[in-house]
Amino acid sequence: MKVVKKEESVVSIEVDEDPRRKDRELAQENRKLFDRNGVTAIDVMGSVGSGKTSFLTQVAARLKGKRRMAAIAGDLTTTIDAQRITDAGIETVQVNTGRMCHLDSIIVRRALEQLDLTKLDLLFIENVGNLICPAGFPLGSHKRAVVISVTEGPYMVVKHPYMFLDADVVLLNKVDLAEAMGVDPDALERDAHQLKPSIAVVRTNCLTGEGVDEAIEALGL
């Protein structure tokens, strides 16, 4: 710490500290914890109602008995999502964020205390329904999936480009409604690839399960 004396009673102190750096360091620790226990962690992000929970219930149905799974479900106030995932057969830790618009690495770390990682292969972290804030907060997950749906309109990708910066897979959900919504899924897919060519885009209908196998494959699960 450098201290510069300006006047007798005034000092200028170089601080050079970022409180959010701790968040990121803790995310790295979370990642190490996952790796040590052979757990693959997937962060699932997307707006409220895009289909994050439906996707997870579909995944649960497909991988049950093959992989040992658990989920952390973040929500502002309700336990609806956690209940749905639990009903689908995945042990779920409910996290109510209160007023917070995203999960962060500290919340995830606390939730992990309720899980036995040695007994898991896969951990799904369902983020708070929000297409902006979660992007700024790494959790330590191995892959990040973004669920967008055609009912959110044709501009979901271009209006929220930074959501896709660290994402690996985009689920383009509710494709069965594309025509009714007048939304072109090809255009949404093109937008995503223009933004980030390496991103995988999978079209899904998480109610019927269409495309879910492809999404599981795209996530490398």
CB of 220 to other proteins, least distance (A): 17
Q: For other proteins, give the closer residue by CB, 114 or 162.
A: 162
E-state strands within 47-199: 69-75, 91-96, 122-126, 143-149, 169-173
Distances from the Cα of 54 to the Cα of 50, 81, 84, 178, angstroms: 9, 9, 8, 18
Q: For other proteins, give the closer residue by CB, 85 or 135.
A: 135
Contact residues for other proteins, defined by CB under 8 A: 6, 8-21, 24, 99-102, 132-133, 135-137, 155, 158, 161-162, 164-165, 194-199
Q: Are 219 and 168 in contact (CB under 8 A)?
A: yes
Q: For other proteins, give the closer residue by CB, 168 or 205.
A: 168
Bridge partners of 70? 91, 123
CB of 108 to other proteins, least distance (A): 15
Q: For other proteins, give the closer residue by CB, 69 or 202.
A: 202
Q: Are 139 and 108 in contact (CB under 8 A)?
A: yes
CB of 95 to other proteins, least distance (A): 15
Distances from the Cα of 173 to the Cα of 30, 160, 189, angstroms: 29, 16, 12
- Residue 62 burial (CB count, 10 A): 16
CB of 61 to other proteins, least distance (A): 32
CB of 59 to other proteins, least distance (A): 26
Q: For other proteins, give the closer residue by CB, 44 or 200.
A: 200
CB of 100 to other proteins, least distance (A): 7
What one-character DSSP code corresponds to residue 210? Answer: B
Q: For other proteins, give the closer residue by CB, 131 or 147.
A: 131
Question: Tokens in use for 30?
Answer: 């979370």
Residue 41 parent element (H or E): strand 40-46
Q: Are 126 and 76 in contact (CB under 8 A)?
A: no
